[in-house]
Amino acid sequence: MRRRDLLARGALYTVLGLGLLVVVGPFLWAVLSSMKPEAEIRRIPATWWPEVFTLGNYRELLSRLDFPQAFANSAIVAVLTTLGNLAFCSLLGYALAKLRFPGKRALFLVVLGTLMVPSMVTFVPQFVMVSNLGLVNSYGGLILPFLATPFGVFLMRQYLLSIPDELIEAARVDGAGELRIFARVVMPLCGPALATLTILTFLASWNNFLWPLVVATTEDRYTLPVALALYSVGQNRIDYGLVLAGAVAVLLPVVIVFVLLQRHFLRGIATTGLK
Amino acid sequence: MTRHRRLGTAAMLAAVLVLGACGRDSGGGGDAAQPVAEGKATGEITVWAMGTEGEKLGAFAQEFMAENPDAKVNVTAVPWDAAHQKIASAIAGRQTPDVSMLGSTWMGEFAKTGALDPTPEGVDRGAFFPGAWDTTVVDGTSYGVPWYVETRLIYYRKDLAAKAGVSAPTTWDELKSFATAMRDKGGAKWGMNLQPGGTGSWQSFMPFAWSNGADLTEGDAFTLDSPQMTEALAYYQSFFTEKLSPPTDLSLQGALEQSFVNGSLAAFISGPWHVSLLNEQGGAGFADKFAVAAMPRKQSATSFVGGSDLAVFKDAGNRDGAWKFVSWLSRPEVQIKWYQTVSDLPAVQGAWSDPALSGDPILATFGEQLKDAKSPPAIPTWEQVAAVIDGEVEKVAKSNADPAATARTMQQRASGIGTGA
């Protein structure tokens, strides 16, 4: 009996280990290869451990682009976008889940409907609107269009549905106003959903490439992915060393955010049953 | 313009073009070129440029500012990756800079939005390579000037050629026997790499079509099913059926340079950027092992000319300053200096007499080839038509499709898209 357990466990770990290798392998290769010279990266068959270890790619990256500025732009945009989503998506999600008002169903359908429209379709009209507002090349233009997302609203609504009405009614009987109920009773129960929303929004904003590229018209407004694309991909050649070093530089903050929030994140996924 | 520039979806482009065309007089044809004021440039000139050009142009323009003390050039570097989309959106949102670098095959599309300012009188078209100048001309009006050029040559291994007892091919027949000898006697696995389809393979195929007297359009109609085109397709196909060219795209796998360096590939067609790539990856001494040769002759020996143009936008806040900056960049001595700064080949013919260019055998070959080099017609639908050609070339190369039938399909699909006229 015990032996069989051990065997089963061994098999399980083998399968999991293989899965891990498939998922982490390319990532690991990218990190290791970012420390190889260009010729070694392109070599076939590829090498794992760098034969010649160099930080040249990172040095070139740092010397050719204004890394602190691009990093700061990315951080400002990602943090403000995330805060906006946390505030607006939870407010609208609460209204759609728990309040009774005329047109609620229609409003929810509109939110769901916008979720179906591919972003490519709205891209140019959105840019024209931002341009008419005079927000081109400003943080406003980079952040405003993403302050609330239909997906975030949907996520919050679904989670809020699971919160018992009795709690809210009890608070109402005690004389609390709607905003007070929202802030003091409902939000503290939404930790996992908020953590999920934080990670998803932060990731999307941090990795966004096309919008900041088009809206930022001077280099001092470029976010990290845009600034990194500047020098690594040429018209006729790709500098793989710079691409990989850049990818690692963009990835690190996201990994840190994920590690910090992962406990909540995993719980959020389990309990909302979404994504 | 080449493979690594990724375009957005066609739907998005269509939206941009429609939006761009709204509320403006339609471009092309009727545009009249306005003169540029005399005297020195003044005020702020905003410039967008891609990649290395964008990185280096700011410092390079110091000299222009020294000549024109009241002018200030502000350069924004734009990543190549999505430059097309950025410019298209900027036109739609009327947020264009004064001057922008534009890929030479984008001119038709952007000129048709009506956003580009026609080239003023007084710009000497004869100073530029004719093939490069043609990229700026849309419906008979020029909308910019060529900035730098590139063209395609045959790169081959000198040592393998010596072993095989062949010299650089000058005709189509010689190219075939050259590739065969490289494989059978030179010891290479593949005698000659031609791109077997995929994005940008039209740039690899069209030189053969042009050299055979075929043309893409006549007036507003495509001429993709001409006998000359069919013959060129059949010739291109024979390299694959005779196992001279690899059936998979080596450059997509990042294996082109390595195969050439280790001798399994004896020759390929590419532009000037491959000189430095090969020297980097081949290591010391490899520079002596390869050489370049002009495209082989059939009726002509025509190659593809690419590169970038400089265009001024109609919405430019500083139009006069913008054109003055553009014409400064077109001076032969400035073009030579620019070559020395970023290795861009000059679009101005006068710059090529400088020993920095004419003294180098590889560069001199590029300079010779540029005199017989063509670009596709500057039509707004070009990128879509190019995708059709790419797809059909792939069928010819990989699945042995009949060249005549393929030419007919190409013609049919391209006509369905239209020339946008």
Residue B5 domain-assigned (yes or no) = no
Tokens of B41: 């440039």
Å between A246 CA and nearest CA of chain B? 14
Answer yes or no: do B251 and B238 share one domain: yes
Asked if the Cβ–Cβ distance from B150 to A236 is below 8 Å, we say yes
Distance CA B170, CA B150 (A): 20
State which residues form the domain around B292. Answer: 153-304+379-417
Mean pLDDT for the stretch of residues A193-207: 88
* Distance (Å, whole) CA A34 – CA A61: 11
| Same domain for B186 and B58 | no
Which residue is closest to A135 within chain B, CA to CA? Answer: B95
Nearest to B257 among A42, A217, A229 (CB): A42
Query: How near does any CA of chain B get to the CA of A147, in Å?
Result: 21
One domain for residues B295 and B191? yes
What pLDDT does B30 receive? 53
Are B284 and B401 members of one domain? yes
Q: What pLDDT is attached to residue A190?
A: 83
Residues of B in contact with A127 (CB under 8 A): 89, 92-93
Q: What is the CA radius of gyration of chain A?
A: 23
Closest Cα in chain A, distance from residue B369 (Å): 19
| pLDDT on residue B100 | 94
Is-contact B229 B403, C-beta < 8 A? Answer: no
Superfamily of domain A57-272 in CATH is: MetI-like (1.10.3720.10)
For residues A140 and A137, what is the distance between their CA atoms, to the nearest angstrom? 8
Chain B closest-CA separation from residue A113 CA (Å): 20
Strand partners, B171: B297
Give me the residue label for tokens 């956003």. Answer: B115
CA atoms within 13 A on the CB side of B57: 28
Contact A231 B55 (CB under 8 A): yes
Is the CB of A214 less than 8 angstroms away from the CB of B86? yes
Segments in chain B below pLDDT 70: 1-30, 421
Q: For residues A1 and A200, what is the distance between their CA atoms, to the nearest angstrom?
A: 44
Contact B51 A226 (CB under 8 A): no
Q: Write down the residue that tokens 């390929």 correspond to.
A: B268
**Chain A: closest CA distance from residue B235 (Å):** 26
| C-alpha span between A192 and A196 (Å, rounded) | 6
Q: Do B79 and A219 touch (CB under 8 A)?
A: no
The answer to the question of residue B4 being in a domain is no
Any domain includes B2: no
Do A129 and A170 touch, CB atoms closer than 8 A? no
Amino acid found at B260: F
Best of B19, B45, B78 to mutate (most A CBs within 10 Å, chain A):
B78
Q: Say yes or no: B296 and B323 in one domain.
A: no
Which residues of chain B does A124 touch, with a Cβ-Cβ cutoff of 8 Å? 12, 15-16, 19, 89, 92-93
Pair (B264, B315) in one structural domain? no
* B57 and B142 share one domain: yes
Give the strand order in the sheet containing B153-157. Answer: B267-270, B153-157, B290-293
pLDDT at A271: 54
Bond preceding residue A45 cis, omega within 30 of 0: yes
Q: At B156, phi and psi to the nearest 5?
A: -140, 160
pLDDT for A265: 63
d(CA A75, CA A70): 9
B413 & B271 share domain: yes
- Listed by start position, the domains of chain A span 57-272
| pLDDT band (50, 70, 90) for residue A273 | very low
Evaluated on CA atoms B261, B262, B263, B269, the torsion sign reads negative
Average pLDDT, chain A: 84
- Best mutation target among A61, A236, A238 (most B Cβ atoms within 10 Å) is A236
Q: Same domain, yes or no, for B143 and B223?
A: no
Question: If you measure CA to CA, which chain A residue comes closest to B276?
Answer: A237
Q: Which two tokens stand for residue B378?
A: 């500057």
- Two tokens, residue B282: 């081949």
pLDDT higher than 60, residue A260? yes
How wide is the angle at C-alpha B274 spanned by C-alphas B273 and B275, nearest 5°?
Answer: 95
Q: Does residue B75 sit in the same domain as residue B192?
A: no
pLDDT over 80 at A15, yes or no: yes
Q: What ipTM was predicted for this assembly? A: 0.74
Inter-chain contact B82–A124, Cβ cutoff 8 Å? Answer: no
pLDDT digits (tens, 9 = 90+) for A138-180: 898 899 889 988 899 999 998 888 888 888 888 888 888 888 8
Provide the domain count of chain B.
2
Read off the pLDDT of residues A126-143 as tens digits, 9 standing for 90 and up: 888 998 888 888 898 899
| Residues A39, B280: C-beta atoms closer than 8 Å | yes
Share of chain A above pLDDT 70, in %: 93
- Within 8 A of A237 by CB-CB distance, chain B residues are 4, 273, 277
Give the domain CATH number at B49.
Answer: 3.40.190.10
Specify whether B311 is located in the same domain as B344.
yes
Which residues 105-124 of A are in CB contact (within 8 Å) with B?
120-121, 123-124
- Are B266 and B407 part of one and the same domain? yes
Distance from CA of A36 to the nearest CA of B (A): 13
Measured at the CA of B194, the angle between CA B192 and CA B200, to 5 degrees, comes to 155
A79-83, A257-261, B182-186: least confidently modelled range: A257-261
